[in-house]
Structure 1
Amino acid sequence: MKNRKKNLDRLFFSQWFLYSIFLAILFLPNLFLFFTETTTPLVARFCNIFLPLSVYGWVMTLSPRPGKVFWFLFPVLFLGAFQLVLLYLFGESIIAVDMFLNLFTTNSVEALELLDKLMPAVVGVIVLYIPALVLAAFTWHKGNRLSKSFRYRCRLIWSLTGVAGFVLLAASYVTDDRYSVKTDLYPVNVCYNIFQAFDREMRSDHYYETSRDFSFGSQAEHDEDIPEIYVMVIGETSRAIDWELYGYTRNTNPLLSRENELIVFPYALTQSNTTHKSVPMLLSAASAENFNSLYQQKGIITAFKEAGFYTLFLSNQQPNHSFIDFLGKEADEWNFIKDSPRKDVNAPDEELLKYFDNVLKEEHHKLFVVLHTYGSHFDYRERYPAIFSVYKPDDITGAKPCFRNNLINAYDNTIRYTDYFLTSLIDRLRRSGKTSAVLYTSDHGEDIFDDRRKLFLHASPVPSYYQMHVPMLIWLSDSYRYDFPTIKETLDRNKNKGVETSVSFFHTMLTIGGIDTRYRNDSLSLASPLYHERKRLYLNDHNKPCTLDDIGLKKEDFDMFQRMHIVTQ
């Protein structure tokens, strides 16, 4: 028995075992990416095996103590753990720039809600990495070493592997003109994305300075004697396919379905599946084609303010030092209701209407309001009062495909609550008797284990149909339709055309509100007879405009676009 124990100890702490186990854990993300990144050419995927493996192997021989090297590579291990959790969540792609920015812009409550549902992945990486780090620390302290001859042999093997890797690297550039080390070779691409994330964060920190002198030069086109209220409502994580107004079989819009004057745009797509990019595009003239204009220009609130409107921004989300905050705080009055210690962190969206009512009582002659809701953001069950628990069971016990029925029930209940929220807003405007209008859309949609890919949530590096197809609605009051009949007629003519909300929302609101500025583009406004459909674009992770054919959409996505009669070109 003692001899067997000695033999096991000798094997367990042998240089071959320690070196191999540490190297395997370093290399594991590359191995997974080889099988998940199926849209990447095969030669590039092999390059992602040979070249990093040779580097890891060489680095592990730089010191005779493998445990010491393993600990010095902790940043690489941390990224590897992050990468494996991402693959568990989205099934593909490297850690994107937007994923790092989400760390800056996601509040702690959201993070804890998500983390709680991702425990299998979190536990998995803990079980994998923590014992390895403990073993490394123990052997470092114990003094386990690699012999010179062992390190020499390893270096010879990894040198030959490196030569093969560089040959594959050259072949990758030759066979694919889009290939680049900084975007396609792990972990170089992740490090590049970290740099990009910090660069964007630093640039956004200077927003007030770079946009200080900007002006829309806005002027009001409407009669100054007409009392007006215009409201932009920005939803959260609401996908069109779960709306009854868009053909869903469930009665998720019992109230809006009875609004005869509601104008529904069935072919609306967002240009981003991340809140920190999609919402600023809705609030400004920025789009996939000119996203960087955000750093120099102000938003639609300032455009209305310059034209003489009293402006109000109300959000049911916490401030996160992003462009959403910057653009929202341009208003005469703003309030992030979750930022108050007296408010429940999961206050329902109708809390916004209480603040809105207070402003209505002030009888502003010209009023422009932006309402940023919490909508259908996960954890769905936390987004609606118990009375709206129509579809049951809606308790959410885990983020797994086997719980999809419960997840869908809870999600559809959030849509019914949004239906109630929007109808309540419309009723208030109707009772005011003022010329008014409401524009609603969502920042992006959501995956809920909808097909064989088993995708969940949003903000994945590669989007899906479910994340891109969003509802877009416009309501005009009786007095508005009377005062501006051609706007209603134009909206009806354009409602069945393709729409990119990230492009058209801003310009349509300006047209409806009668705001004249050189930054208004009537060819992008659904309320203008000059509106025309454009090529569908998407803002990729590196803030470049891409066609839908170039962003990695799968057959399942194009099948859904076709089913919903959405033209993707």
Structure 2
Amino acid sequence: MKLFKNIKKWIENQEHLFYMFLIILIVPNVVLCFTEPLPLMAKICNVLLPFACYYVLMTLSRNCGKMLWILFLFVFFGAFQIVLLYLFGQSIIAVDMFLNLVTTNSSEALELLDNLIPAVIIVIVLYVPALVLGMISIVKKRRLSLEFIRRERKKAFIVLGISLISLVGAYIQDSRYELKSDLYPVNVCYNVALAIQRNALTQSYHETSKDFSFHAQSTHPENEREVYVMVVGETSRTLNWQLYGYERETNPNLSKQSGLIAFPKVLTESNTTHKSVPMLLSNITACSYDSIYHQKGIITAFKEAGFQTAFFSNQRYNRSFIDFFGMEADTFDFIKEDSVGLTYNPSDDELLKLVEQELAKGANKQFIVLHTYGSHFNYRERYPSESAFFTPDYPADAERKYRDNLINAYDNSIRYTDGFLARLIGLLEKQQVNAAMIYTSDHGEDIFDDSRHLFLHASPVPSYYQLHVPFLVWMSESYRTTYPKHWEGLIKNRNENISSSGSFFPTMLYLGGVETAYRDDLQSVANPLYTMKPRVYLNDHNEPRPLHDLGMKKQDFQMLKQKDINY
């Protein structure tokens, strides 16, 4: 009872709350000192300068609870930052993280949230009591003494002066140091502004792109029936594909498939779905990403060339470019949206039923795009339980101790994708026409692969495991006979270094005989004259950056070297 009274007396003391709120506000900065690869002076500045600013602001009112709630946005950023650090281990809240809030569907978010419970608990324990105490202070109109406010304000300005000296030191020690990128929470505020700007541009897309045209034409004979299918996978990494030397039988069907070429040295230019997929579905690459607000996707190019087009997705709407590009098709269906329930979880095989229906239309020229759910976490929900080949695949929670189970479940999802693609090829073979299919994944995935214990994807700093993706091209026997040089080109280029973001679009157009000024033939893997461009990655500020300028770790470059991938 006495202990309870002492605690109650302590938290009713406004001076104690003043210091407690100040410490809570600065927690993310202290943690970032240990996670971010910055010079010593930058780390000192990154704690002192925000601390001094919070200190000064807290002295602007005699009610410390009122000031905490005025600074609520920074409390929210702090909570978000802690969850991010728990998930990825480093980096401040990126622009893409804010955009993910409006483009990630709720079912995906709920799947992930279940595995962030420790981080959520930390956030609740750290911030909720402080906000409650702050509200009590406001309601009960408690006040700090004028003498206390004056004394603390003097101290705050002294700390501010010292912090400005440390800022000068940070610039002297590293000329690349800049507030908008390196100082929390200035960098987060800058990223919020960028996110708002990009969201506004996205919402204006239909207006800014309405006059765009590829001026595309078909170069293949008009009376020649042909079918082309573009498949965009989800979260599938090369490392777990048998086709690329993985010791497990994750590709029992494709390993025996004739007319199939697998490219082993392919990297994506983004580890986020909302950027990677639009790049795959359009002429946009990391080097031209901001042009996305003015251009249309590959479906429009095929439509202009006289093709009947279709887009079928096993994902929900994301209210962005994936939806925009998909809805350019003559026929489109986001099958998860066919049910109002968030728990509706159809397998990718449901897409094949739509493909069958589309093929049955018998159009002379057909182009079909599929966006699968592939190997997205939770892996166990990507395949029927009776299809579990690698066991045990349960429990497969997002914890390092369950890595073996996670790998089993993940490999089962790859094996299911193998069957899906084999069945799709079977449908195309039945048409007995000139047909081709290309497949790649938007990005890969971390699954507690090394000492960093990273998991999932979309981290602000990518890893090798998130970048290395499978890339397949299949041609029917009829197509190989009609266009032998395209087949020869695939064989010639199979061991070349390739960017999926740069080559997927031109390869599909090249195979389909769709000619446009936007088609870069030197990036088509079916072209014997294919030429590799320098590797780049689309960073959070939509800037193309070489891989060595992203903050990637030595483990990543060791893996790239091991796979003989140019970086």
Equivalent residue of 1:290, what SS?
Answer: helix
Deviations 1:302-356 (A, max 9, x none): 1111111100100000112110011111111111011112786210000000011
Aligned counterparts of 1:563 and 1:509: Cα–Cα separation in 2: 30
Q: CA separation in 2, counterparts of 1:143 and 1:319?
A: 47
The reply on whether 1:500 has 2:499 as its aligned counterpart is: yes
1:5 CA displacement: 6.8
Task: Look up the match of 2:534.
Answer: 535
What residue number does 2:202 align with?
204
Change in Cα spacing, 1:9 to 1:227, as seen in structure 2 (3 Å) is: closer
Matched-pair contact (CA < 8 Å) for 2:396–2:409 = no
CA gap of 1:98–1:5, structure 2 versus 1, over 3 A, is: closer
Q: CA offsets, 1:441-491, max 9 Å, x none?
A: 000001111111111111110000000000000000000000000000011
Which stretch of structure 1 is more off in the superposition, 159-168 or 97-106?
159-168
Tell me the equivalent position of 1:126. Answer: 124
- Check 1:112–1:7 CA distance in 2 against 1; reply closer, same or farther (3 A cut): closer
Alpha-carbon distance in 2 for matches of 1:381, 1:125 = 28
Q: Bigger CA drift: 172-181 or 39-48?
A: 172-181
Cα drift, residue 240 of structure 1: 0.6
Query: Which stretches in structure 1 are left out of the alignment for 5+ residues?
Result: none
One-letter amino acid of the counterpart of residue 20, structure 1: Y
Aligned-pair CA distance for 1:267 = 0.3
How big is the shift at 1:179? 2.1
Which position in structure 1 is the counterpart of 2:558?
559
| Deviation string, structure 1 residues 418-447 (Cα, Å, up to 9, x no partner) | 000000000111111010001000000011
Q: Distance in 1 between matches of 2:492 and 2:538?
A: 28
- 1:40 alignment partner in structure 2: 38
Give the 5 Å matches for 1:14-25. 14-25=13-24
Q: Which residue does 1:113 correspond to in 2?
A: 111
The SS at the match of 2:532 is coil
Which of the numbers 279, 284, 287 marks the counterpart of 1:286? 284
How far apart are residue 526 of structure 1 and its match?
Answer: 1.2
1:216 is matched with 214
Letter in 2 for 1:102: N
Structure 1 stretches of 4+ with a deviation exceeding 3 A read 4-12
1:428 matched to 2:427? The reply is: yes
Q: Could you tell me which amino acid in structure 2 is paired with residue 107 of structure 1?
A: N
Alignment partner, residue 272 of structure 2: 274
Provide the C-alpha distance between the structure 2 equivalents of 1:393 and 1:182, rounded to a whole number of angstroms: 47
Q: What residue is the counterpart of 2:521 in the other structure?
A: 522
Once residues 60 and 319 of structure 2 are traced to their aligned partners in structure 1, the CA distance between those partners, rounded to angstroms, is: 42
Q: How many residues were matched structurally? A: 566
CA distance in 1, matches of 2:520, 2:132: 61
Residues 381 and 396 in structure 1, CA contact (< 8 A), matched pair in contact too: no
Q: C-alpha deviations, 1:482-519, integer Å up to 9, x for none?
A: 00000000111111010000011101111111111111
Contact 2:306–2:365 (Cα < 8 Å) also in 1: yes
Given that 2:396 and 2:403 are in contact with CA atoms closer than 8 Å, whether structure 1 keeps it comes out as no
What is the one-letter code of the residue matched to 2:244?
A: Y
Question: What letter matches 1:15 in structure 2?
Answer: Q
Between the aligned partners of 1:431 and 1:224, the Cα distance in structure 2 is 21
The residue type equivalent to 2:100 in the other structure is: N
Q: Deviations over 1:88-127 (max 9, x none)?
A: 0000001100001111111111111110111111122112
For the residues of structure 2 that align with 1:175 and 1:393, how far apart are their CA atoms? 52
2:385 is matched with 386
CA gap 1:269/1:289 in 2 versus in 1, 3 angstroms: same
- Give CA-to-partner distance per residue, 1:261-301, whole Å, 9 cap, x none: 21010000000000000000001110010001111111111
Measure, in 2, the Cα distance between the counterparts of 1:219 and 1:201.
Answer: 33
- Cα 1:383/1:8, change in 2 over 3 Å: closer
Read off the aligned partner of 2:116 and give its amino acid letter: L
Counterpart Cα distance in 1 of 2:4 and 2:371: 64
Q: Deviations over 1:347-389 (max 9, x none)?
A: 0000000011011111111000100000001111111112221
User: Aligned equivalents of 1:57 and 1:104: distance in 2?
Assistant: 33
> Which one is further off, 19-28 or 171-180?
171-180
Report the 3-state secondary structure (helix = DSSP H, G, I; strand = E; otherwise coil) of the residue aligned with 2:328: coil
Give the aligned residue type for 2:274. H
Structure 2 contact 326–332 (Cα < 8 Å) conserved: yes
Query: Mean alpha-carbon deviation: is it higher for 253-262 or for 80-89?
Result: 253-262
What does residue range 46-61 of structure 1 map to in structure 2 within 5 Å?
46-61=44-59
Q: How far apart are the structure 2 equivalents of 1:6 and 1:398?
A: 42
Residues 495, 9 of structure 1: CA spacing in aligned structure 2 closer, same or farther, 3 A cutoff? same
For residue 16 of structure 1, report the CA deviation from its aligned partner: 3.2
Q: Distance in 1 between matches of 2:396 and 2:375?
A: 17
**Separation in structure 2 between the aligned mates of residue 157 and residue 449 of structure 1, nearest angstrom:** 45
1:336 aligned onto 2:348: no
Whole-Å separation in 2 of the counterparts to 1:299 and 1:176: 42
- The letter of the residue matching 2:156 is W
Shift of 1:397: 5.1
Q: CA deviation at 1:74?
A: 1.4
Per the TM alignment, residue 145 of structure 1 is displaced from its structure 2 partner at its CA by 2.2
Q: Secondary structure at the match of 2:283?
A: coil
Q: CA deviation at 1:130?
A: 1.1
* Pairing 1:456-475 to 2, within 5 Å after superposition: 456-475=455-474
The aligned residue for residue 104 of structure 1 is 102
Query: Which piece of structure 1 moves more, 467-476 or 152-161?
Result: 152-161
Aligned to 1:257: 255
Match of 2:370 in 1: 371
Partner SS, residue 286 of structure 2: coil
In the aligned structure 2, how far is the partner of 1:317 from the partner of 1:6?
55
Contact 1:105–1:321, Cα closer than 8 Å, also in 2: yes
Residue type of the alignment partner of 2:176: R
| Worse-matched range after superposition: 14-23 or 541-550 | 14-23
AA at the equivalent of 1:85: V
Secondary structure of 1:504's match?
A: helix
Alignment partner, residue 163 of structure 1: 161
The equivalent residue for 2:80 is 82
Aligned letter for 1:104?
V
1:173 CA displacement = 2.8
Question: Secondary structure, in 3 states, of the residue corresponding to 1:377?
Answer: coil
- Aligned counterparts of 2:17 and 2:138: Cα–Cα separation in 1: 11
1:15 CA displacement: 3.5
Partner AA of 1:228 in structure 2 = E
- 2:132, 2:68 → 1: CA distance? 11
Structure 2 vs 1, CA of residues 200 and 550 (structure 1 numbering), >3 Å: closer, same or farther?
A: same
5+ residue gaps, structure 2, are none
> 2: CA distance between counterparts of 1:141 and 1:467?
49
Aligned match of 2:399: 400
CA distance in 2, matches of 1:278, 1:12: 50
Aligned partner letter, 2:183: L
Higher mean displacement: 160-169 or 116-125? 160-169
Deviations 1:377-430 (A, max 9, x none): 111111111222111111245311111111111111100000000000001111
Structure 2 CA distance for partners of 1:66 and 1:363, relative to 1, 3 Å? same
> Which residue does the alignment assign to 1:148?
146
- Distance of 2:136 and 2:211 partners within structure 1: 60
- The amino acid across from 1:473 in the alignment is L
CA distance in 1 between partners of 2:14 and 2:325 (Å): 58
Q: 1:371 to 1:19 in 2, by over 3 A?
A: same
Letter in 1 for 2:438: L
Percent of aligned positions with the same letter in both sequences?
55
